[in-house]
Structure 1
Amino acid sequence: MAFTIGDIVARKSYHMDMLFRVIDLRQGQNGEMIAVLYGEEFRLIADAPSSDLVGISDRELNQRHVQQKEKIDQSLYLLKQDYQLLKEKREYYATANYSHQEDFFHVPGKVLHMDGDPVYLQKCLALYEKIGVPVHGVHCLEKEMPDKVNELMARYRPDILVITGHDAYSKHKGSMSDLNAYRHSKHFVEAVMNARSQVPNLDQLVIFAGACQSHFESLIRAGANFASSPSRVNIHALDPVYIVAKISFTPFVERINVWDVLRNTLTREKGLGGVETRGVLRTGMPYKRIQTTVQES
């Protein structure tokens, strides 16, 4: 079967466990077409010969989307529970438990999200908007991130920086401890180091970095607060958003327990990890509603 760029496929050699988008086609040494694949739901990049690929029907694609939506809805439910508890706690401490008539306003952390995949970026931006996290999204190829991160930070001045895209570990290139055996981990590490050269304090700039199977230890050593992937497993496309939302809506006077962040994600501790970090949200009062009057002519 001939495939074209944009087709949704699965790999027979992996029992069709994941869906991929064909993003490029090139001819292999034996004349067979080799497809470059991006995970449809997970942040994985892979190569596969066309003979190993199976096209996915619209019916099966819809079935898998329904299954993914159920998982996403569960994560959102947990996130909303956390947000409500945080909101009640913030208001209790802000008023010292006194009754009052004033309304509050909240200033959540601003996010700069750099993503190597424009499709995933749009999915993430839609979820940020649904949750209410202020964000600037930038599509940037992974290899270009180290050169562009400081310019983008100066432009948007984020509280939280997300550096993500696609990655993969190739065992034929080296051991799991060898950074050169990973598709884009070294680019993520360089981008984190460049960002940390501008803002060294982990509580003044919170960084999430990595994608599927990324070199977790190197990313944490480079200065990321949260990263993937401790067990070198695949992470879901939306996992960075759940981590960011928890940080963005946690008050800056509170420290975030790492498990409290990971439990809302789809991959959890096998795919994601991090270090104790302060929240970035600030609460203020009073909130003054702007009343608009229309002057009749």
Structure 2
Amino acid sequence: MTINMMDVVGRISYNCDIMFRVIDIREDQGRKIAVLYGEDVRLIADAPYEDLIVMDQNERMKVSREYRSLEEQSFKLFRQDIDLLKQKQEYDTTNGYKKAYNYFQVPGRVLHIDGDPSYLKKCLSLYERIGVPVTGVHCNEKEMPNKVGQLIDYYRPDILVITGHDAYSKSKGTMNDINAYRHSKHFVQTVREARKKFPHLDQLVIFAGACQSHFESLIHAGANFASSPSRVNIHALDPVYIVAKISFTPFMERINVWDVLRNTLTGEKGLGGIETKGVLRTGMPFNPIKNEQS
């Protein structure tokens, strides 16, 4: 069977447990090697050409339905959290509903830098559905350290997301060796460059990492939240749920890490972080300008 670029494939040796897109095919010592991007998880992998099989439409739809079901369940739980946050904020702002104040809310602005344009598009769609103000930028993981500074200067975000694809390779070293990871060192360098602009953890909230990323290095570099504590795969949309929770939490409140993680698709094995302030701000009065008819 011929495998072509952008085909959706599974790895025979892994019982086709994950769907991948073929993004490159190269020769390595006389063997054909395919470079794969996960369709629903932020994993990059190399695989022998002969270990791949094109996933038929029925199988793709079956796997896709399973992921969509998980995504929708996670979204509903997250939506409940956001509604509770808004009700609490309304109660506090109106002095226990005793006074009818005209107020407005300014959720935190997100700059999402992603190494995968397909995942970035999915994330932007979810941000829009939730109501988070966001700017998305596609950037190769290796180029992120050189570009993040100017992007921060231009967009002035409250929350920065640095993600794409990653993977741990046992043949390259132990799990403690950052050089054994595909892009963890680039994510770490990017976080460090961002912290040169905003050293304080509550000035700029940072999420960094992808599948199997070196969690400890990312946190030590200055990320508030990162992946992956147990070196497992994370879902493509997990960063959105984390930063959206931060975006809608008032800046006078601190976020319990478990409250952020519990409604993600991956949970604490794939995601972790440190206590962080929210970034939502409330103002008043709310006085929209109305167009007057002459």
What are the equivalent positions in structure 2 for 1:68-83 lying under 5 Å apart? 68-83=67-82
Aligned to 2:267: 268
What secondary structure is seen at the aligned counterpart in 2 of 1:192?
A: helix
Unpaired runs of at least 5, structure 2: none
What residue is the counterpart of 1:96 in the other structure? 95
Spell out the pairing of 1:243-282 with structure 2 (5 A cutoff). Answer: 243-282=242-281
Q: Deviations over 1:70-89 (max 9, x none)?
A: 10111111111111111111
Aligned CA distance change for structure 1 residues 96 and 47 (closer, same or farther; 3 Å): same
The CA distance in 2 between the partners of 1:23 and 1:294, in whole Å, is 56
Residue in 1 that maps onto 2:20: 20
Q: What is aligned with 2:52?
A: 53
Q: Helix, strand or coil: the match of 2:162?
A: strand
* Partners of 2:187 and 2:18 in 1: CA distance: 24
Question: Is the partner of 1:280 in helix, strand or coil?
Answer: coil
- Residue number in structure 1 paired with 2:218: 219
Aligned to 2:7: 7
Q: How many residues align?
A: 294
Give per-residue Cα distances to partners, 1:55-103, cap 9 Å, x unaligned. Answer: 1111211111111111011111111111111111111111222423333
The amino acid of 2:147's aligned partner reads: K
Counterpart for residue 119 of structure 2: 120
Q: Contact 1:255–1:278 (CA<8 Å) still a contact in 2?
A: yes
Could you give the per-residue CA deviations for residues 207-240 of structure 1, whole angstroms, max 9, x where no partner exists?
A: 0000000000000000000000000000000000
State the alpha-carbon separation in 2 of the partners of residues 180 and 33 from structure 1: 24
Matched, 1:170 2:174: no
Show the counterpart of 1:66.
65
Q: CA deviation at 1:252?
A: 0.3
Supply the distance in 2 between the matched residues of 1:13 and 1:175 (Cα, whole angstroms).
Answer: 23
SS state at 1:60 partner: helix
Report the AA paired with residue 251 of structure 1. Answer: P
CA contact (8 A) 1:112 1:161 kept: yes
Counterpart residue number, 1:288: 287
Secondary structure at the residue paired with 1:113?
strand
Query: 1:26 & 1:294 partners in 2: Cα distance?
Result: 65
Report the counterpart of residue 143 of structure 2 in structure 1.
Answer: 144
1:2, 1:50 within 8 Å by CA — same for their partners in 2?
no
Take 2:62 and 2:176, find their aligned partners in 1: how far apart are those partners?
38
Question: Given the two structures, how large is their TM-score scaled by the length of structure 1?
Answer: 0.97
Please state if 1:193 is matched with 2:201: no
Does 1:135 pair with 2:110? no
Question: What's 2:109 paired with?
Answer: 110
Distance 1:286 1:57 in 2: 57
Give secondary structure in 1 for the equivalent of 2:112: strand
**RMSD, matched Cα:** 1.0
- Cα distance between partner residues in 1 of 2:100 and 2:243: 32
- What residue ranges of structure 1 are gaps of 5+ in the alignment? none
User: Aligned partners of 1:284 and 1:63: how far apart in 2?
Assistant: 47
Matching residue's letter, 2:95: A
SS of alignment partner, residue 27 of structure 1:
strand
Secondary structure at the aligned position of 1:13 is classed as helix
Under a length normalisation based on structure 2, what TM-score does the superposition of the two structures give?
0.98
Q: Deviations over 1:102-156 (max 9, x none)?
A: 3331100000000000000000000000000001100000000000000000000
Which one-letter code corresponds to 1:142 in the other structure? E
